[in-house]
Amino acid sequence: MAGTANFDKALTEKSLDVVKSLRKRFGLTNKVTTKGGSDFRYSRPFQVQARRALMAKGGLL
């Protein structure tokens, strides 16, 4: 059933405005301003590396 969706342009634009305002309010922008960008310890590669190092020592997470 391709091509059967009937999008309301006003609703789509309103949703886009809501998403933009939430991203601005909670700091989720395309720039590196989130917690992960300001401190490398929040980055996923560092978390994985820290977990592997801890497991190699025999510790539990």
Quick one: pLDDT at residue 55?
A: 87
Better-scored residue on pLDDT, 56 or 32: 56
What is the reported pLDDT for 60? 64
Identify the pLDDT of residue 34: 54
Give the model's pLDDT for residue 29.
60
Q: For residues 37 and 15, what is the distance between their CA atoms, to the nearest angstrom?
A: 27
CB 36 within 8 A of CB 42: yes
pLDDT tens, residue by residue, 9-49: 777 888 888 888 877 777 666 655 555 556 667 778 888 89
Who contacts 55 (Cβ-Cβ below 8 Å, separation ≥6)?
61
Domain ranges, ordered by start, for the chain: 32-61
